[in-house]
Structure 1
C-alpha cells in the first residue's frame, strides 16, 4: 500500500490535512526579499490564500488559523509579533503549523512553572502538528528544507488518483517548479524573481475535493531532512 492509502486508512487515528487548503504568511517584515522571491510565485501558482511582504491584522490571522488545514509562516522568529500566544490559545480550532523562522519552536523556561512559547500555544489550541526550528538557521537552509517538505507533500498528493482533475493539474504545475539547491545565507541574488505575466498559469484547486487529498505531515517532514545536510 502507498503512503497515501495508509493515511486514508488511518484517518480515524491520525489528523489528516490537505497541503493546498492552506494560508501563508510570507516575509511580513519586508526584509527577506530572497525568501519571498523563492516562495511567492510557488504559492501563487498553487492558488493559495495568503499575504506576502505585508503585516496582516490579528483578525485575518485568526480567521486563517481557524479556517484552513495548514498555516505556513516564513519570517523572523515564530511570528508571535503578529499574533500573541494569548490570542492563539483562544482559537476555536487550529490548523497544522509550519513555522519557518529562527528558533520558532524554542520554549521559555519558567523555573517551577510550565515552559511557554508560541509553538506550545498552537498545540494547546488544538493544532494537530507544529513543525518549527529549535535554534537559529540560515535563510538558505531553512528555505531549502521548507521547499523539500512542501514538494514531498504535493508530489504525493498529485499521485492520489489518475482520474482526479485537481491532481492532474497539480502534477503538471509541479513539473514547472524546482527546489532551489542554494546553500547557506548569502546576501547576493536576493532580488525578486519575475512573476508570470498572466493568471492563466494558476492552478484551479477549488472544485472536486476528496478525502484522498488529505495526508499526514510527519512522513513528509522526515523525507525533507536530507535537504539540509552540510
Structure 2
C-alpha cells in the first residue's frame, strides 16, 4: 500500500482503484474514496505540479506519426522530438553559445510572420491579424502577400522567431534543397497541415520531411502539425501558445489574481468570427519555456485530433533571460 501511495501521481484513477482493491482485498466499487484520498497526498500533489525536465523523444520512423506527446504519462511534461542522437548533438554544438541550463535561449523581440500568403485563407488572416499586431508589436510580417524565395531566405537567417500560417510547410516558396544550405537562426513555427510530418519516399530511403532540411540548416526548433487540421483549430492553438509564451507587452492589463489561476481554454465556437483574439480577454500566465507553453496549448481546442497534431522538433527553447531556476542545472547540462 505504501508503494501504491508513492506512485499515485503516475496512475490513472482506475489503476489506483484496482491497486487499492488488490491490496485491501475489497471490491473495486468500494475504493473510490480511498483512491481519491491517496491522489491528494502531499507527495502526489507535488509531483503533479512540479517543474519538469524536457523529455526528448527519439522515435523509430515507423512510429513517428503517433502523437506520443498525448500519452497520459507525458501530458504534464515538456516534450520534443529529434531523429537521432547525432542530430541532437549537432544542434547543440551549433547553438552552444546560446544554450543555458539545457535550453536554447531566444530573444523574443525579433520575429517575423507570414500569414495567408496564397490569399485563400481569409478567415485565418482575419483571426491572426489582430493577435499578432497587438501581441507582438515589435515584429515584422505580411498578411495576404506571397513571399519571394529571397525574402523567405532572409527571414530564416535574420530573425529569431518565424511564424508561417498558410498551407503546408511553406515549401512552395522555398524548397528544402535551398533551406538546407542556410544557417537558420529562427525558432520556426509552421502552422500548416502536415508541416512536420515524415513522408515515405519509397525503397530503402528513410521517411523524411521539410523539418529535416530545417535541422540540417541548424534550425534550433521546428513546431508544426503531424497531419491535416482545420485553420480554425490551428489558429486557436497558435494564439494560445504564443500568448502565454511571449513576454508581456506594455499595454497588457494583467490581474495578478487572474494570472495565478489556471489557464482558460479558448475554444473557437464560430470559425467565421474574428473574435478569436480579444486583448485582455484571456487569462495570461507567462510560460517562458516553449515546450511547456505547447503542452498547455493542448487545452486550446476541444478536438483531440487537432491538439494531438502539434509537435515540436529540435532543442528545448526558452525566452532569453528567463530560464527556469527551479530546475537544477547540473542534470540538464550547460552551454
Q: TM-score, normalised by structure 2?
A: 0.50
Structure 1: distance between partners of 2:299 and 2:200: 31
Quick one: which of 290, 300, 315 aligns to 1:227?
Answer: 300
Q: TM-score, normalised by structure 1?
A: 0.72
Q: Name the Cα RMSD after superposition.
A: 3.0
**1:1-230 alignment to 2 at 5 Å?**
11=100, 13-45=102-134, 46-47=136-137, 48-110=139-201, 111-154=203-246, 157-158=247-248, 167=249, 169=250, 171-172=252-253, 181-183=267-269, 186=271, 189=272, 215-230=288-303
Q: CA deviation at 1:17?
A: 1.7
Q: CA deviation at 1:119?
A: 1.5
Q: Please state whether the residue corresponding to 1:108 is helix, strand or coil.
A: coil
Contact 2:265 2:300 in 1 (8 A): no
Q: CA deviation at 1:114?
A: 3.0
Q: Please state whether the residue corresponding to 1:115 is helix, strand or coil.
A: coil
Q: CA deviation at 1:216?
A: 3.5
Structure 1: distance between partners of 2:240 and 2:300: 7
Q: Please state whether the residue corresponding to 1:228 is helix, strand or coil.
A: coil
Contact 1:107 1:115 in 2 (8 A): yes
- Which deviations, in whole Å up to 9, do the C-alpha atoms of 1:32-78 show, x marking residues without a partner? 11110111122222321111101111111111111111110101111
Relative distance call for 1:214 and 1:148 in structure 2 (3 A) is: closer
Contact 1:69 1:95 in 2 (8 A): yes
Q: Please state whether the residue corresponding to 1:25 is helix, strand or coil.
A: strand
Structure 1: distance between partners of 2:178 and 2:197: 19
Number of residue pairs the alignment of both structures matches:
188
Q: CA deviation at 1:183?
A: 4.5
Long gaps (5+) in structure 2: 1-49, 52-98, 255-263, 276-285, 304-335
Structure 2: distance between partners of 1:214 and 1:87: 34
Contact 1:102 1:134 in 2 (8 A): yes
Relative distance call for 1:106 and 1:40 in structure 2 (3 A) is: same
Structure 1: distance between partners of 2:225 and 2:111: 20
Q: CA deviation at 1:12?
A: 5.1
Long gaps (5+) in structure 1: 4-9, 159-166, 194-212
Q: Please state whether the residue corresponding to 1:152 is helix, strand or coil.
A: helix
Q: CA deviation at 1:94?
A: 2.9
Larger radius of gyration: 2
Contact 1:92 1:125 in 2 (8 A): yes
- Which deviations, in whole Å up to 9, do the C-alpha atoms of 1:122-167 show, x marking residues without a partner? 122111111111111111111111111011112xx22xxxxxxxx5
Contact 1:17 1:215 in 2 (8 A): no
Relative distance call for 1:124 and 1:109 in structure 2 (3 A) is: same
Structure 1: distance between partners of 2:109 and 2:212: 24
